[in-house]
């Protein structure tokens, strides 16, 4: 299989009018591309949202690298305010214009292209998983949540997961965020004599 052109794939995805929760052809495009490269693809649609789970390798392998992204975009608003049509994927002066070019069809395209090149040219000792949702920009209740439930019920897991959201404020790579394993909200009541951390001896819990 020839190398995947990430820029060309980004343009193809931009041309898919995938305004939440409309799939717009984006996931069909990715499913066809990944299936051809040997990924096992499963649609995990829920409600009126389309999602895609794709894995290369076996689900029992102890080393699995995952990627989570989305192909849905926010509404375009007044089309007359756009310098270039939102779904035309206009390339001008080295810049690709269109709805979702940054958030995050380019990220999805880059990872899909890299994943396909990786497993076809240098097959890893491990597995690669992609979870792509169509419900990130909306209520986000039938997207990643549905994919995680699917993984739980089918015994799928990721050792590590990269979320390719655009978080770099100035230039590529200037910000990386480390996600938490989870969170917990609690309410508690403390009794005693309050104090200040500078004078801990004056505080007395009861």
Residues annotated catalytic, as ranges: 72, 136
User: DSSP assignment, residue 201?
Assistant: G
The SS3 assignment for 162 reads: strand
Tokens of 182: 């989870």
Of residues 124, 125, 89, 107, the one with CA closest to residue 14: 89
Handedness of CA 21, 130, 109, 175 (dihedral sign): positive
Tokens of 65: 């690298």
Of residues 27, 11, 185, 204, the one with CA closest to residue 97: 11
DSSP H helical segments within 19-141, as ranges? 26-36, 106-121
**Which residues share a beta bridge with 96?**
91
């Amino acid at each position: 299989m020839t190398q995947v052109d990430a820029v060309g794939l980004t343009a193809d995805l931009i041309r898919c009018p995938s305004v939440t929760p409309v799939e717009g052809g984006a996931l069909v495009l990715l499913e066809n591309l990944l299936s051809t490269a040997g990924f096992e693809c499963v649609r995990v649609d829920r409600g009126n949202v389309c999602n895609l789970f794709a894995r290369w390798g076996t689900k029992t392998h102890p080393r699995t690298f995952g990627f989570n992204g989305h192909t849905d975009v926010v509404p375009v608003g007044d089309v007359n305010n756009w310098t270039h049509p939102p779904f035309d994927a206009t390339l001008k002066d080295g810049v690709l214009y269109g709805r979702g070019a940054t958030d995050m069809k380019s990220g999805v395209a880059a990872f899909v292209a890299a994943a396909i090149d990786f497993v076809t040219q240098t097959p890893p000792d491990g597995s690669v998983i992609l979870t792509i949702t169509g419900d990130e920009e909306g209520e986000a209740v039938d997207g990643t949540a549905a994919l995680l439930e699917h993984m739980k019920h089918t015994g799928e897991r990721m050792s590590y997961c990269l979320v390719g959201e655009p978080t770099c404020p100035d230039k590529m790579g200037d910000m990386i965020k480390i996600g938490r394993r989870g969170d917990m909200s609690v309410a508690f009541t403390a009794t005693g004599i309050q104090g200040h951390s500078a004078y801990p001896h004056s505080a007395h819990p009861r």
